[in-house]
């Protein structure tokens, strides 16, 4: 397996860890406002939990790739600093919980020893770049997308134009037209394509733009049926620069990129992206196709084993393994209930698979694991190991394989206990609808709230946490969503809200829908066809009796996994970071941006230097506008409003306008000469503003 320089060998990382420790001390000493500190720690993968005084730490694993050594390191860290559990997420990360804030720099440093980072795992950043877990071994793939996902992750990590956006930005790379990385609900989704030009094979991607889940799901639009591989990263860069400048920053509910497309229109957004191209750090980027080499297949001699349960083994083989494109090897999916692996089991798992699988495990978007390069003779051994650990359930990626977020276990936004609901549903389907363990075109997904971290918005049958009132009490409820899911090749469907029922009745919902589907579908009709033919109203009438609150039993006032009466206790969500509008903080940050600009210039990183200088312009202008009570919601609005309130009135003078001065950034290619001029202009503006603080009544 290819080795990369460890994060800890990077002096930038060392400085970031030291800086985090320093900022924690300053926050605890009252020197940094809570809002500012929250934004800072989120960008370093440290997320406040529902439980006071402890943190969730999210480990950013590009396209879900993890080695034996890395998983064991995370297990060791979870034992020492967290809750002795590894939680696999729907974005192919690993989270550990109940970490003391003061220990987070140590956690980061230990992870960095084995090429893992917390940087930009949360907050208003480019989040983990996901990909189909089978990439590299997928029999249907035109080529391996793993190197493209890795290059995208590496290029945008710590990049100044996407480290402090108005909201998060998500990207995925599917391995084939089956679109198993869900391109249609991402800000950017990529599906690999091959064209033959002048007799030569040319790689590229179908490009989907502007999708997203959350409380208001929107499907992505196809903007290219084929974009050459060397144009992918430059196009992403231009798009992120546009999002940074025009994206909403005050109303977090309207700050995702999909809302910018909705507000300006797709045609205008594409025009702005094209206009931004000249300012890019890169105009083309040729991805190293060998960046993620195929792992070495195991070669050790194997002692033959007999399955501990012959019938269960055959069922497991029928649903959880597939023949790789590499002849003679199999991919093995491991079902991990609710995505939780206790550290003791993680160690037994790694010890048991060594010599039987390649050292390249992938975390899947449905919170499971994929083993690669398994020889046929190793399958009984792996089955026996998984049986011992409780991970040999059949039905991977089927109706019985329920996806869920942590819900009220740890999340501030959780309304209901989605994890226990998932466990109950899986047991119920295995017991009463066993035939559905073979059904891979009907998925059940659960989120603890409407934000869709459990992907309920793209489920065939989805549930999200909610509540209703009955008899003067609050009842835990589930919003039932139907008809969503992947069609293929960039086409997907958003699930429709049908009805809301008490959470203890979700088993009856699943039973009614699955039973009706089996009884009334046409021959070979999939769930999408059946749902469309029956219509939403049919399902509303089918499920309406379950919404009757006059028949509630005492047990239905209690959520799954709880013993006490239900009460909503929603905290402040941190998924998107926060908006910082403190004048003093903004002015300080503007000065810090100038320091970063000069440092980047000295290192001949001219594009970064220019962007830092641009940020200083905007931060300084926003601070002065706040002093007049003007709270502009985008960087573009800040620039326009500064002209209106300060330049047109003669308080500040420019040869043309403030807008023309600042927006030089997308008129010139990044060069030493322009960077030097732009930094000087930004510095002059900042210190002119600082010199007028008393006159302008800026509170420092």
Model confidence at 570: pLDDT above 90: no
Domains in the chain: boundaries? 1-121, 124-294, 310-389, 404-557, 583-696
pLDDT of residue 279: 95
Average pLDDT, the chain: 92
In DSSP terms, 196 is beta-bridged to 201
Contact yes or no for 101/46 (Cβ under 8 A):
yes
Q: How crowded is residue 299: how many other Cβ atoms within 10 Å of its Cβ?
A: 8
Per-residue pLDDT band at 14 (split at 50, 70, 90): confident
- What whole-number distance in Å separates Cα of residue 506 and Cα of residue 456? 14
Q: Are strands 444-447 and 461-470 parallel, antiparallel or unpaired?
A: parallel
pLDDT of residue 565: 64
Q: Quick one: average pLDDT of 473-502?
A: 96
Model confidence at 5: pLDDT above 70: no
pLDDT of residue 566: 54
List, for residues 71-120, the tens digit of each pLDDT value.
999 999 999 999 999 999 999 999 999 999 999 999 999 999 999 999 99
Token pair recorded at residue 451: 């934000």
pTM for the whole thing?
0.92
Q: Quick one: average pLDDT of 474-497?
A: 96
Q: CATH fold of 310-389, please?
A: Sulfite Reductase Hemoprotein; domain 2 (3.90.480)
- Greater confidence, 582 or 400? 400
pLDDT of residue 574: 54
Contact yes or no for 211/185 (Cβ under 8 A):
yes
Per-residue pLDDT band at 576 (split at 50, 70, 90): very low
Per-residue pLDDT band at 6 (split at 50, 70, 90): low
List, for residues 338-364, the tens digit of each pLDDT value.
999 999 999 999 999 999 999 999 999
CATH superfamily of 404-557: Sulfite Reductase Hemoprotein, domain 1 (3.30.413.10)
pLDDT of residue 699: 41
Q: Quick one: average pLDDT of 311-333?
A: 98
- Greater confidence, 698 or 249? 249
Least confident of 33-47, 77-91, 231-245: 33-47
Per-residue pLDDT band at 163 (split at 50, 70, 90): confident
In DSSP terms, 208 is beta-bridged to 189, 222
Token pair recorded at residue 294: 């195929």
pLDDT of residue 626: 87
Model confidence at 689: pLDDT above 90: no
CATH superfamily of 124-294: Sulfite Reductase Hemoprotein, domain 1 (3.30.413.10)
Per-residue pLDDT band at 3 (split at 50, 70, 90): very low
Q: Quick one: average pLDDT of 208-228?
A: 95
- What whole-number distance in Å separates Cα of residue 555 and Cα of residue 180? 39
Sign of dihedral through CA atoms 402, 405, 406, 407?
A: negative
CATH superfamily of 583-696: Nucleotidyltransferases  domain 2 (1.20.120.330)
pLDDT of residue 690: 77
Sign of dihedral through CA atoms 411, 415, 420, 425?
A: negative
List all residues 6 or more positions away from 383 whose beta carbon is below 8 Å from its beta carbon: 307, 308, 312, 313, 316, 317, 392
Q: Quick one: average pLDDT of 510-515?
A: 98
Q: Quick one: average pLDDT of 112-140?
A: 95
CATH number for the region 1-121 comes to 3.90.480.20
- Greater confidence, 365 or 34? 365
Compute φ and ψ for 188, nearest 5 degrees: -130, 130
Q: Quick one: average pLDDT of 115-128?
A: 93
- What whole-number distance in Å separates Cα of residue 496 and Cα of residue 517? 17
How many alpha carbons lie under 13 Å from residue 99 in its C-beta half-sphere?
A: 28
Radius of gyration of the chain, Cα coordinates, nearest whole angstrom: 26
Model confidence at 568: pLDDT above 70: no
Alpha-helical (H) ranges within 86-214 are 104-112, 146-156
- What's the Cα-to-Cα distance from 368 to each of 391, 417, 567, 621, rounded to whole Å? 10, 20, 31, 47
Compute φ and ψ for 256, nearest 5 degrees: -70, 160
Contact yes or no for 559/476 (Cβ under 8 A):
yes
Per-residue pLDDT band at 7 (split at 50, 70, 90): low
Per-residue pLDDT band at 564 (split at 50, 70, 90): low
Q: Quick one: average pLDDT of 299-321?
A: 95
Which residue, 660, 513, 686, 516, is CA-closest to 597? 686
pLDDT of residue 581: 39
List, for residues 186-207, the tens digit of each pLDDT value.
999 999 999 999 999 999 999 9
Instruction: Say yes or no: do domains 404-557 and 583-696 share a fold.
Output: no
List all residues 6 or more positions away from 489 whose beta carbon is below 8 Å from its beta carbon: 177, 179, 191, 206
Per-residue pLDDT band at 214 (split at 50, 70, 90): confident
List, for residues 645-682, the tens digit of each pLDDT value.
999 999 999 999 999 999 999 999 999 999 999 999 99
Q: Quick one: average pLDDT of 7-27?
A: 82
How many alpha carbons lie under 13 Å from residue 333 in its C-beta half-sphere?
A: 27
Helix (H) / strand (E) element for 475: namely strand 473-482
Per-residue pLDDT band at 336 (split at 50, 70, 90): very high
pLDDT of residue 208: 98
Model confidence at 418: pLDDT above 90: no
Length of the chain, in residues: 700
């Amino acid at each position: 397996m290819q080795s990369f320089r460890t994060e800890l060998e990077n002096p930038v990382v060392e400085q970031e860890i030291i800086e985090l420790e320093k900022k924690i001390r300053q926050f605890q000493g009252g020197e940094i406002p809570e809002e500012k500190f929250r934004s800072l720690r989120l960008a370093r993968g440290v997320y406040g939990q529902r439980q006071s005084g402890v943190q969730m730490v999210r480990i950013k694993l590009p396209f879900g790739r993890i080695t034996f050594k890395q998983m064991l390191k995370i297990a060791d860290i979870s034992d020492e600093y967290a809750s002795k559990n590894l939680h696999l997420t729907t974005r192919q990360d690993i989270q550990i919980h109940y970490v003391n804030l003061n220990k987070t720099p140590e956690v980061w440093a230990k992870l960095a020893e084995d090429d893992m980072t917390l940087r930009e795992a949360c907050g208003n950043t480019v989040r983990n770049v996901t990909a189909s877990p089978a990439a590299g071994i997928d029999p249907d793939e035109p080529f391996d997308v793993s190197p493209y996902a890795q290059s995208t992750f590496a290029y945008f990590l710590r990049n100044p134009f996407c480290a402090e956006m108005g909201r998060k930005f998500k990207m995925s790379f599917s391995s084939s037209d089956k679109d198993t990385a869900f391109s249609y609900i991402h800000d950017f989704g990529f599906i690999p394509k091959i064209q033959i030009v002048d007799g030569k094979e040319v790689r590229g991607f179908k490009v989907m733009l502007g999708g997203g889940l959350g409380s208001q799901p929107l499907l992505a639009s196809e903007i290219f049926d084929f974009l050459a591989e060397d144009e992918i990263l430059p196009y992403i860069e231009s798009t992120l620069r546009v999002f940074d400048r025009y994206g909403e920053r005050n109303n977090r509910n309207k700050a995702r990129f999909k809302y910018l497309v909705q507000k300006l229109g797709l045609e205008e957004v594409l025009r702005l992206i094209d206009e931004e191209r000249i300012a890019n750090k890169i105009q083309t980027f040729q991805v190293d196709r060998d960046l993620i080499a195929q792992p070495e297949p195991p070669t050790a001699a194997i002692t033959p084993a007999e399955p501990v349960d012959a019938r269960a083994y055959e069922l497991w083989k029928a649903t959880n393994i597939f023949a790789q494109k590499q002849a003679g090897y199999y991919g093995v999916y491991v079902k991990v209930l609710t995505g939780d692996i206790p550290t003791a089991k993680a160690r037994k798992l790694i010890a048991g698979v060594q010599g039987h699988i390649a050292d390249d495990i992938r975390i899947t978007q449905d919170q499971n694991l994929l083993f690669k390069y398994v020889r046929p003779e190793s399958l009984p051994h792996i089955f026996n190991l998984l049986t011992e650990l409780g991970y040999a359930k059949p039905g991977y990626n089927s109706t019985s394989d329920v996806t869920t977020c942590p819900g009220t276990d740890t999340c501030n936004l959780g309304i209901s206990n989605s994890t226990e609901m998932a466990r109950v549903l899986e047991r119920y389907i295995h017991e009463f609808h066993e035939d559905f363990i073979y059904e891979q075109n009907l998925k059940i997904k659960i989120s603890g709230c409407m934000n869709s971290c459990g992907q309920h918005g793209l489920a065939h049958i989805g549930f999200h946490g909610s509540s209703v009132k009955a008899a003067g009490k609050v009842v835990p409820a589930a919003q039932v969503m139907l008809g969503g899911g992947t069609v293929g090749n960039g086409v997907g469907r958003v699930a429709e809200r049908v009805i809301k029922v008490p959470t203890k009745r979700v088993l009856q919902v699943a039973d009614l829908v699955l039973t009706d589907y089996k009884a009334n579908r046409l021959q070979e009709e999939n769930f999408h066809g059946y749902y469309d033919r029956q219509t939403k109203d049919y399902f509303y009438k089918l499920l309406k009796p379950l919404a009757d609150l006059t028949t509630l039993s005492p047990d239905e006032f209690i959520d799954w996994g709880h013993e006490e009466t239900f009460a909503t206790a929603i905290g402040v969500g941190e998924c998107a970071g926060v908006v910082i509008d403190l004048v003093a903080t903004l002015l300080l940050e503007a000065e810090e941006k100038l320091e970063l600009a000069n440092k980047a210039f000295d290192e001949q990183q001219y594009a970064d230097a220019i962007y830092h200088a641009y940020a200083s312009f905007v931060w300084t202008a926003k601070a002065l506008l706040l002093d007049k009570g003007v709270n502009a919601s985008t960087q573009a609005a800040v620039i326009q409003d500064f002209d209106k309130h300060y330049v047109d009135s003669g308080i500040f003078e420019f040869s043309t306008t403030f807008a023309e001065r600042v927006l030089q950034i997308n008129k010139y290619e990044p060069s030493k000469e322009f960077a030097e001029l732009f930094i000087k202009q930004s510095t002059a503006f900042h210190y002119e503003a600082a010199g007028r603080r008393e006159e302008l009544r800026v509170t420092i």
